[in-house]
Amino acid sequence: MKFSWKSCAALAAVLLVAVPVLAADAPAIEENPVLARMAGGETIAESDLTAYLQRRIDLRHTLRNVWGIQTALREMAMTRSLVLEGGALGVERVADKDKDKDKDKAADRFDDAYAHAVYKKIAPACEPPADGVAARKFFDETPQAFRVPPMARLSRIMLPAGASVEGEFAAGWLLQQTQAIGSGARKFDAVAEAASGVYKLDPQGDLGWVTLTNDVPILRALADAKAGDMVGPVPEGEFIYLFHIASKRDARQLAWDEAATSVPGRAVRYCREQANAQIEEKMFKKYDVQIDVAKIRMLFNTSRKKPQAVTQ
């Protein structure tokens, strides 16, 4: 099994400086930090994020790291932009007779149903190719729609950064275990079993085959690793991760014979993905959406009370 000394050395450097930085040099803690800004002086604060997640439980699982909160905030900013765009276009909002307008004023800012109606109005129609000739043309002209991303048979150990394991801080303990695994003194599965005694909310150990998507930074970082590699420990948000890649399937391009029957579905899906990206870019530019990554990182400051959005 190969051992990623580079990742561990980087983590060791973080551990050496983390305590004095948090104790002496940490910026002032804000009770309700503004996480995103938009045109017209609009802001999205931590309290807005918390309120939004009261009804968007499908997003709560993304809030364990910086990337996850960025994802949720981008969706909130997109929703708000579409609500504003709907007003500019004169798209009628269906009135709710039972709605308490004062109580639901905040919810109206991020009205998902209305935003979806506006999106449908401005998004292009996505239709499959009309016939076999059109299908082959789409295949030849759009190779990116027929690329299979890399996959890995992945094992993972994840621990809350503030946890204690066998009398050690999680980061230090996992660093020691990584060295022991690399030297052959311990097995990855044994360490995963020990970690599961501390953290059980997510699976430890074998995760099966996982797509190494470019959309998730921590998975994208594994795309260059090889079968047999161990990568980590990797600190991200309020967790620390260690990965082992048992097997790897590299990205590849589908041949026509493999893809022919899936062209209609792939064509529609690709059209929608491109439309989503283009409309988001247009809305974010028009409404000057600025997401403050530095403020998001502050949510995970160990000297700060855990934000409601992260702990839900």
Give residue-wise pLDDT tens across range 80-126.
Answer: 999 999 999 999 987 654 555 555 566 689 999 999 999 999 999 99
Fold topology of 5-15+150-250:
Chitinase A; domain 3 (3.10.50)
Residue 46 burial (CB count, 10 A): 22
* Nearest alpha carbon to residue 219 among 12, 68, 14, 63: 68
* Nearest alpha carbon to residue 212 among 148, 300, 134: 148
Give residue-wise pLDDT tens across range 59-70.
Answer: 887 777 788 899
pLDDT at 244: 95
Dihedral sign, Cα of residue 165, residue 242, residue 191, residue 149? positive
Map tokens 């930074």 to a residue.
Answer: 217
Contact 235, 13 (CB under 8 A): no
Task: Please state, for a pLDDT cut of 70, what percent of the chain lies above it.
Answer: 82
Q: Distance of CA 111 to CAs 72, 74, 106, 118, 124, Å?
A: 15, 14, 9, 11, 22
**pLDDT-based confidence at residue 28 (cuts at 50, 70, 90):** low
Position with higher pLDDT, 81 vs 56 = 81
**pLDDT-based confidence at residue 29 (cuts at 50, 70, 90):** low
pLDDT at 23 over 60: no
Position with higher pLDDT, 148 vs 102 = 148
**Residue 126 corresponds to which tokens in the numbers above?**
């996505």
pTM of the model: 0.75
The DSSP code sequence of 9-46 is HHHHHHHHHHHHIIIIIPPPPPSS-EEEE-GGG-EEEH
pLDDT at 306 over 60: no
Output the CA torsion 211→65→203→250 (10° steps): 20
pLDDT at 171 over 50: yes
**pLDDT-based confidence at residue 239 (cuts at 50, 70, 90):** confident
pLDDT at 8: 42
Q: Distance of CA 133 to CAs 161, 260, 261, 266, Å?
A: 55, 11, 13, 16
C-alpha angle 43-46-50 in degrees, rounded to nearest 5: 120
pLDDT at 13 over 90: no
**256-279 mean pLDDT:** 97
pLDDT at 39 over 60: yes
Q: Which of 23-27, 54-58, 255-259 shows the highest mean pLDDT?
A: 255-259
Q: Peptide bond preceding 143: is omega within 30 degrees of 0, i.e. cis?
A: no
| 180 contacts: CB under 8 Å, gap ≥ 6 | 186, 191
pLDDT at 22: 36
Mean pLDDT value across the chain: 84
pLDDT at 170 over 70: yes
**Residue 276 corresponds to which tokens in the numbers above?**
């989503």
C-alpha angle 271-272-276 in degrees, rounded to nearest 5: 120
Q: Distance of CA 196 to CAs 165, 172, 240, 273, 310, Å?
A: 10, 17, 14, 37, 21
Position with higher pLDDT, 158 vs 95 = 158
pLDDT at 212 over 60: yes
pLDDT at 102: 52
d(C-alpha 233, C-alpha 6), whole Å? 10
**26-50 mean pLDDT:** 87
Helix (H, G, I), strand (E, B) or coil at 256: helix
Q: Distance of CA 82 to CAs 102, 161, 170, 276, Å?
A: 21, 37, 43, 12
**DSSP state letter for 185:** S
pLDDT at 236: 81
Chain region(s) in the chain for CATH 3.10.50.40 = 5-15+150-250
**Residue 286 corresponds to which tokens in the numbers above?**
């028009």
